[in-house]
Amino acid sequence: MKYLIFLAILILSHPVRSQGNLPETFFDGKSVVLISADPAARPVMDWKAVADSVHSALVKAGGDPVAYYELEQVSLSEEVQSNYAKAFEQRLIKNIILVTRQRNNASIHVGKFSGDGKVITSTALFGLSAPKIEEVADQFGALGENVRTKNLLVIDIPEFPSITQGEAAQQASSSKFFARNPLNLEVFKLGVPLEGSSAETGSLTYFRYDLYGKSAERILAEQAAQKAEIEGILKAEYPYEVAWLTEAKTNQELIRDRIQFLLVKVEGREADLKKSMGLNSDPEIENQTVVKYYIKLLVRDELYIGPEWDADSDWRVALRNFIRNLKK
């Protein structure tokens, strides 16, 4: 009886929350693991250390995790994400595992690889979460105790491969970026997606450590506050018509509504952003996280980053810089 009481107390003091169902492909196919690790979480663990801490649990559960990447790097921009997706497709990846470590929570989610540039099609994935990464890893490993897996030849330690095909594709995609301003902004509307909405880049960013777990009410409140700030900047600096986008639409639907331009916001390490846009970079110096805006011309799939590099750690400064540079 004392043992049962102690066990009940232990479970209640270390709750593990779960949702959804684990896809069958997890037990019969390769998985890629994307990790987002909060640098403020304690003890300090970078994303590769988090990979080391969960790998054996993923294998024990019956998975075949063949490669690990940092989520922020994969979701750096729509173009970079598409390049990674092409490489995943070439490796016959069937599943995407998302590991998020925050200061007071850790989670593991699994979904089917979409087979396209979105990587995953929904945020409604099977998932477990617990206060610590070790706890959620143990619980995830236990999922394989009564299940027969077809993944037999799995690696013993996590691997962090570079994507040579993706890098080659990235060079091709960087040619879509132009260090100048687009023409005809005065003729067509500029679409402005709001953060946290389905109109933004996709579902992957939902699992970033700084975004995961936000309530719908908080997202709506942040959207309203953000719209007010963006609106103030655009009214002061941008003389042409804009359209606010809060839900996903196809390019055809946007063009039908006379929206031929999209204002795109990307956030990441400055050197990574520059490299993805075909610009020279210095990883040793340009290692801070910055925000960069650019405009996407939908009808030609062309990306205009402006005549000057105007990224900044503050998104407001970055947006104001970019809009002002549109006049040059």
Residues 223 and 151 in one domain: no
Q: Is 275 exposed, middle or buried (0-12, 13-18, 19+ CB in 10 A)?
A: buried
Token pair 């990674």 is found at 84
Residues 136 and 220 in one domain: no
Whether the CB-CB separation of 96 and 34 falls below 8 Å is answered with yes
> What is the model's pTM?
0.72
Residues 136 and 232 in one domain: no
Residues 139 and 258 in one domain: no
Whether the CB-CB separation of 74 and 204 falls below 8 Å is answered with yes
CA distance 59 to 56: 5
Token pair 């990306």 is found at 303
Q: Residue 192 sits in which domain range?
A: 176-325
- Report the amino acid identity of residue 95: N
Residues 152 and 206 in one domain: no
CA distance 85 to 87: 5
Residues 138 and 252 in one domain: no
Whether the CB-CB separation of 83 and 170 falls below 8 Å is answered with yes
Q: The tokens of 10 are what?
A: 């232990």
Residues 158 and 194 in one domain: no
Residues 152 and 249 in one domain: no
Among 125, 141, 169, identify where a domain stops.
169
CA distance 256 to 163: 37
Sheet order of strands, 17-19 included: 17-19, 126-130, 106-112, 93-101, 30-37, 64-70
Q: Is the peptide bond before 43 cis (omega within 30 degrees of 0)?
A: yes
Residues 64 and 121 in one domain: yes
Among 112, 137, 169, identify where a domain stops.
169
Residues 196 and 47 in one domain: no
Q: The tokens of 313 are what?
A: 């750690």
Residues 197 and 309 in one domain: yes
Question: What pLDDT was estimated at residue 173?
Answer: 54
Number of structural domains in the chain: 2
Q: The tokens of 328 are what?
A: 């040059």
- Report the amino acid identity of residue 303: L
Q: Can you give the pLDDT of all 328 residues of the chain as single tens digits?
A: 433 333 333 333 344 555 567 999 999 999 999 999 999 999 999 999 999 999 999 999 999 999 999 998 898 877 788 889 999 999 999 999 999 999 999 999 999 999 988 899 888 899 999 999 999 999 999 999 989 999 999 999 999 998 754 444 454 455 589 999 999 999 999 999 876 544 455 688 889 988 888 777 887 787 788 889 998 999 999 999 999 887 767 788 889 999 999 999 888 889 888 988 889 988 888 888 899 999 999 998 899 999 999 999 999 999 999 999 998 8
Q: Is the peptide bond before 131 cis (omega within 30 degrees of 0)?
A: no
Q: Number of C-alpha atoms within 13 angstroms, CB side, residue 246? A: 8
Residues 107 and 143 in one domain: yes
8-state DSSP, 91: T
Question: What pLDDT was estimated at residue 110?
Answer: 97
Among 136, 169, 202, identify where a domain stops.
169
CA distance 264 to 262: 6
